[in-house]
Amino acid sequence: MVDTSLVPPLLLVSLPVAYLGYRLYRSLLSSIPASALPYDPKTGVGRGAPGFQTGVRRVAIPPALAARIRAGEDVSADEVTAALEAEKERLAREEEAQEEQGSGDRVKVPEGVDEEWLPAGALGGKGGKAARRRKK
């Protein structure tokens, strides 16, 4: 067996070596992010887990496309892109039409009142709504 007088010097040497080895292992392991490690089915953590897509941007799709997807149709990425562009154009046209109408939301001022003395938000319009907003 081992001479009992050698146990303290062996512990004095082996414990620091074991501790340094443990710290080195932990530092190397922690330098690699979990997302870069291969998929581990035991923990469910890692890159490329089945059923998950990485780096995919979520967008709101028009209701017509949502209905088609719910019905089980296959919708290509090109169709989604085209529908999003058409929706942007439609919203831009509606916004331009509202700007052309412009004074539809102005308040009628009685004839005896001079408008230049009224405060900025008194007549309604774009400036007035922004001025009345409260900070939360």
Phi, psi of 47 (to 5 degrees): -80, 135
Domain ranges of the chain: 59-100
Q: Cite the DSSP H helix spans in 31-75.
A: 63-70
For residue 66, what are the CA distances in angstroms to 62, 81, 88, 113? 6, 13, 17, 53
Tokens of 42: 């035991």
Instruction: Give the global pTM.
Output: 0.37
Interval 89-136: pLDDT, tens: 988 998 888 877 765 556 677 777 776 666 766 666 555 455 556 676
Residues 86-100: pLDDT tens digits? 988 988 998 888 877
Q: How far apart are CA 28 and CA 113, in angstroms?
A: 78
